[in-house]
Structure 1
Amino acid sequence: MFSDLPAAPDRVGDLWDISMARRTGTMLDRPHRVAYVYRTPDTSTFRYRVANTVDALNHADGDIGAAWYCDDELRALLRIVPELDVIVVARYPWNAALRELVQTAQRHGVPLVFDCDDLVFDVRFAEIVMSSLGKDVDVNAEWDVWFAYMGRLRASLDVCRGATTTNPVLAHQLASYVEDAPAIVPNVMNREQQAYSRELLDAKVAGGWRRDDQVTIGYFSGTPSHVRDFAVAGLSLARLLDEDDGVSVRIVGYLDDLGPLEPHRDRVEFQKFMHYVDLQRSIAEVEVNIAPLSHTAFNICKSDLKFFEAAAVGTWTVASHTPSLDHAIDDGVTGRLAKAHEWDGALREAVALARDTRAYADHALAAAEVAHSRWSWDAVAEPVARALAPYLGRRTR
């Protein structure tokens, strides 16, 4: 494990600790105005698809101003709809407040664009989504929840003219629902996250990639539903721990079902779900980051963030194949892609790489260079501006 890394910066506030008045003023200061609506600030979809995008647009050298609005702000947003060029409905399920906003937008000729980062807008995939998330399909209440949620998202999608999403697989799924071809807007780091990631990377370089004798493999669970995904690599991890006393595991987040790793619980470190900037340090401390995914229609739509957030801090990743991860990782150069039967070999290779300081540094730096360029905070401004270009300058007075 790497040590002596700089502590996370003191945070005065997050991107979502900004008043509505200030957000609106920033947006209205520019010739073109885009309002994003999302249910409530959170550390997953809101951060990547809304807060990071809005912040990047407002700091780019362009003429688009953006702001985000949540549940209790939608009716206040009605007053400035005539000043908008476009409204982005970011994974917002249909309700009365959204209906009022849509009706107002339609009266003023303001187009709506749907943004979604998961395959959750078509009830035909409800059982696949439930199964992928480890939900019990024999429980009627689960069907009630997921049909309601996905049906409401479909209702929101139905009033939108265009769509933005994270990858071509989801874009293809969305294409039949919107008039205009869906556009791809990638997930990226935000300014604070990237700056601290660079600081962590620089500390590794300055310290000569100094680490202790233990190789730590990290699994960073974003939701309580990742038991099935972790199981893809679980048996391979257990066999590795059986063979190699110099390997340990760090699990961050909600996962507490170790499955085949249970006999090695004393070599597994658990850390609670943490702020995303603090998480960058936790990822930086381990030598190997793993991103196993079960092969489902839901998971193949996942984005590449599990790779680039680790690469940005100089940590090697072993990941399952998905279209996004296949496109993100130069296999064997910036990370390792593993099919289900390849995890034993991929993990052994990763441990051997970690013990070869020079080789590890070369590979980690190659991955970091790509991450800080391709997924930098400002890399999203151009694709989102291109995606929204057809809707700008059309607002009516």
Structure 2
Amino acid sequence: MGRVGELLDKSKETISNDGVAIFAKKSAAYVKRHITRDKSNENNDPEKLVADVLFINGCFLPHPSRYRVSHQREQLLATNIVSNEVFYENVTLEMVKNYRVFIFFRCPITDTIKEFIELAKQYNKKVLFDIDDLVIDKKYTDQIKYLKTLSKEEKDGYDDGVNRMQETLRMCDGAITSTERLAAELRNYVPEVYINRNTASDRMLELSEHAIYNRDKLPYINTDNLTHRSEKKQYKKSCEIIKGWKGKEVRLGYFSGSITHNDDFNMILPVIARIMKEYSNVVLHVVGELDIPKELEPFKERVVGMPFCDWQKLPELIASVDINLVPLEQSIFNEAKSENKWVEASLVKVVTIASNVGALKDMMVDSETGLLCDNNEDDWYNRLKQLIENEQLRSKLAETAYQYTKKHCTTVYNSYQFGKYIKSIMVPNIAFVVPSVQTSGGILVIFKHAAILQSYGYDVTLINDGFESKDILKDGSRIPVVSKQTQQIHTSFDKMVATLWSTLSTLALYPNIKDRYYFVQNFETDFYEAGNFFKVAANQSYNPCFDVNFITISKWCQNWLVDSYEKDASYLPNGIDLEHFTAKKRNFNNNGKIRILVEGNSNDYYKNVDESFRIIEQLDKDKYEIWFMSYLGKPKAWYHVDKFLHKVPYEKVPEVYQQCHILIKSSLLESFSYPPLEMMSTGGYVVVAPNEGNIEYLRDEENCLFYDRNKEGDAVRAIERICSDSNLRDKLYENGIETAKRRDWRELEKEVLSFYGFNRGE
């Protein structure tokens, strides 16, 4: 049942129960509220805001949504949990990456909702269903008397909506609901149910306080103390209302709709008729279309109709009566209903007499915060008579109920436990702040760590300093990316990791992080030449003015962090995906050329690519074919390049290595040099200038050949030795394969979890 179908069914029900005039008023109020709500969300685009919780509202009527979406959001805000909301028809898959918890309120399944939930689970997000009524199964809704008046086509449409609601519910990890009876039924569909009772908003409390003041104090104060025009206007209004109350008049109020065709009110109708016959000072106030039943015709002058009104005017309306009537028949639906009517009346110090059913029975304390009646005429008559005759009792019960509901049934005062629950079900999360998502050795390590953490059930996000926000696909994982440039980030993080000096500022400026990490992959001070301001800025990152855990994948980095900056860093060996980088024997005996690979960004001086090409200049071009692979830099004019491979996708990189015989690597500075390891794992050979980032695993004459930097002739001779000496090749091949095996990522997964303070059982 779509939104239009639901609107039609609700419209028919309203016309049937309340009449055309009331239907028109409700429709106008609905349109007004939805236009206002849509405008209020313009600055909270769910695709642009990154927050803790997203409510997906599947209910188009304002009253249920206000209690179960707006009020719960206010509770979360009071506990520093940032939330957002979206109507279910406006949901997009781009929103999934932006939140930690999703709460679907009365949301029927659609293709998009199904994809949304599946993607949320792939991201390791928590998905909950919220419901305040038993419209989740035909075994419940078939008991609704009104549905028996529908045509077969209308009933089939309604049932379809119920079934689709249940399908969404069953896809969720758990449910939140408002009453004990609802919780008991929901446990038949989901493993975990949390009860968060309906609460009055802070605005409702404010309006209730105003209503009490306008009724109990304002009409009796000295008018000389009234200085504001609005106060004088309200004073006049309050005086007119009180003047209209006749002597010892006792006003009964029924605020649950029309009193005709209403089984709940019909249950006490004989009692009301008897009371009004015996007490000429009793007046009945009814909200809704006034269609007086025949039992009350003799007293129609004392039956007052009050129009439906916006919820912000309801406190003043309730405050105008003395006794609030809440009769409920004994049924599973009424047992599941919330205690809203009692709370709303109590907040304006009006006593409630109610059926001893469901949530009213659970929340009200009989003879302390109201009167509870068994559903028989004698009990209702005797207890209502007691209230009518005893004004002091009415005041006492109303005051006690007011004091209780103000502290225990309002959003702000009742926020802590709900916030605690939401925090408890959040999947532990971690964010990596990256300068960009463009391929590089260091970025690929971050992607790998993120993929491992996600595979173990953690909620992982990449925060990109750039504009790109497309998900990263890595080893079967789909890692969400959010952009600092286009999105507002207000969610909480258990852990956040800076991955370059320029990303550390995010950790410093963002307050909602439990544990901060700085993943050091190189000595970035030396990325810049003397005189470049960034040289100073990079060095500042090793002297942060806030607490941060230093971590690294380089023994060299670990050493200089201690020696030069007195920073103890945790160490994790770097790994390699041997499933992708598979070994292949090279053939040096055919008549084809020996293929030499140069790798690195020619624009970065510390990559020292120029030296590699000076070595190339000394090689016999008839014997050697030169390939150059670079993600960013391009060949300089003097480079001899037979084939240039630019921005090769990572999954294609192993094929490049497998097609080449020898790698030349001349970098001046690297914390961990991946290309030699990748070349060895594919069965290739490496001629390399040793630096602090590669001697961690490279051994001269064992798994590679070293040459001294600036001695290009030594590198040329090393290349020629590999080409001519089969015994040397066999030795380098075997040791290279063994070196790669010791770096297999599959053997390092447990260490990755510990590296970030996680463990497998968390």
Q: Is the structural similarity TM-score above 0.5? A: yes
1:107–1:325 Cα change, 3 Å:
same
Question: 1:74–1:98: 8 Å Cα contact kept in structure 2?
Answer: yes
Aligned pairs for 1:146-295 (under 5 A) are 146-179=158-191, 181-206=192-217, 212-213=246-247, 214-221=249-256, 227-253=262-288, 256=291, 258=293, 260-295=295-330
Q: 2: CA distance between counterparts of 1:278 and 1:380?
A: 23
Q: Which range is displaced more, 312-321 or 359-368? A: 359-368
Q: Which has the higher contact order (CA 8 A, sep 6+)?
A: 1
Corresponding residue to 2:135 among 112, 117, 120: 120
Corresponding residue to 1:69 among 63, 66, 86: 86
Q: 2: CA distance between counterparts of 1:256 and 1:112?
A: 45
Structure 2: stretches of 5+ with no match in the other structure: 1-31, 221-237, 430-458, 462-762
Q: 1: CA distance between counterparts of 2:94 and 2:111?
A: 16
Q: 2: CA distance between counterparts of 1:291 and 1:260?
A: 19
Tell me the CA shift for residue 40 of structure 1: 4.8
Q: 2: CA distance between counterparts of 1:220 and 1:307?
A: 11
Q: 1: CA distance between counterparts of 2:48 and 2:363?
A: 32
Aligned to 2:497: none
Deviations 1:165-187 (A, max 9, x none): 011211111112113x2000110
Aligned to 1:331: 366
Question: 2:258–2:286: 8 Å Cα contact kept in structure 1?
Answer: no
1:102 aligns with 2:117: yes
Tell me the CA shift for residue 301 of structure 1: 0.7
Q: Which amino acid aligns with 2:416?
A: E
Aligned to 2:72: 53
Q: 1: CA distance between counterparts of 2:48 and 2:387?
A: 46
Q: 2: CA distance between counterparts of 1:381 and 1:23?
A: 22
Structure 1: stretches of 5+ with no match in the other structure: 1-11
Q: 2: CA distance between counterparts of 1:380 and 1:392?
A: 24
Question: 2:53–2:99: 8 Å Cα contact kept in structure 1?
Answer: yes
1:19 aligns with 2:36: no
Considering only CA atoms, is the larger Rg found in Structure 1 or Structure 2? Answer: 2
Aligned to 2:416: 382
Aligned to 1:352: 389
TM-score when normalising by structure 2: 0.46
Q: 2: CA distance between counterparts of 1:13 and 1:299?
A: 27
Question: 1:300–1:323: 8 Å Cα contact kept in structure 2?
Answer: yes
Aligned to 2:94: 79
Q: Which amino acid aligns with 1:109?
A: N
SS of 1:82's equivalent in the other structure is helix
SS of 1:177's equivalent in the other structure is coil
Aligned to 2:460: 396
TM-score when normalising by structure 1: 0.85
Aligned to 1:35: 54
Q: Which amino acid aligns with 1:266?
A: E
Question: 1:123–1:151: 8 Å Cα contact kept in structure 2?
Answer: yes
SS of 1:340's equivalent in the other structure is coil
SS of 1:378's equivalent in the other structure is coil
Question: 2:47–2:98: 8 Å Cα contact kept in structure 1?
Answer: no
Aligned to 2:656: none
Question: 2:260–2:291: 8 Å Cα contact kept in structure 1?
Answer: no
Tell me the CA shift for residue 141 of structure 1: 4.2
Q: 2: CA distance between counterparts of 1:50 and 1:257?
A: 36
Q: 1: CA distance between counterparts of 2:261 and 2:115?
A: 37
Deviations 1:124-167 (A, max 9, x none): 11222x12xx3436743453243222111101101101100011
Q: 2: CA distance between counterparts of 1:224 and 1:231?
A: 7
Aligned to 1:363: 397
Question: 1:231–1:259: 8 Å Cα contact kept in structure 2?
Answer: no
CA-based RMSD of the aligned residues comes to 2.8
Q: 2: CA distance between counterparts of 1:226 and 1:49?
A: 28
1:372–1:17 Cα change, 3 Å:
farther
Aligned to 2:343: 308
- Determine what percentage of the aligned residue pairs are the same residue: 24
Question: 1:200–1:313: 8 Å Cα contact kept in structure 2?
Answer: yes
Q: 2: CA distance between counterparts of 1:257 and 1:86?
A: 48
Question: 1:82–1:396: 8 Å Cα contact kept in structure 2?
Answer: no
SS of 1:396's equivalent in the other structure is strand
Q: 2: CA distance between counterparts of 1:255 and 1:86?
A: 45
1:92 aligns with 2:107: yes
Greater share of residues in helix = 1
Q: 2: CA distance between counterparts of 1:190 and 1:248?
A: 30
Question: 1:27–1:67: 8 Å Cα contact kept in structure 2?
Answer: no
1:27–1:360 Cα change, 3 Å:
farther
SS of 1:279's equivalent in the other structure is helix
Q: 1: CA distance between counterparts of 2:174 and 2:292?
A: 41
Aligned to 1:372: 406
Question: 1:122–1:150: 8 Å Cα contact kept in structure 2?
Answer: yes
Deviations 1:305-328 (A, max 9, x none): 110100000111111112311122
Q: 1: CA distance between counterparts of 2:150 and 2:128?
A: 35
Q: 2: CA distance between counterparts of 1:375 and 1:286?
A: 21
Tell me the CA shift for residue 329 of structure 1: 1.3
Tell me the CA shift for residue 291 of structure 1: 0.6
SS of 2:368's equivalent in the other structure is coil
SS of 2:275's equivalent in the other structure is helix
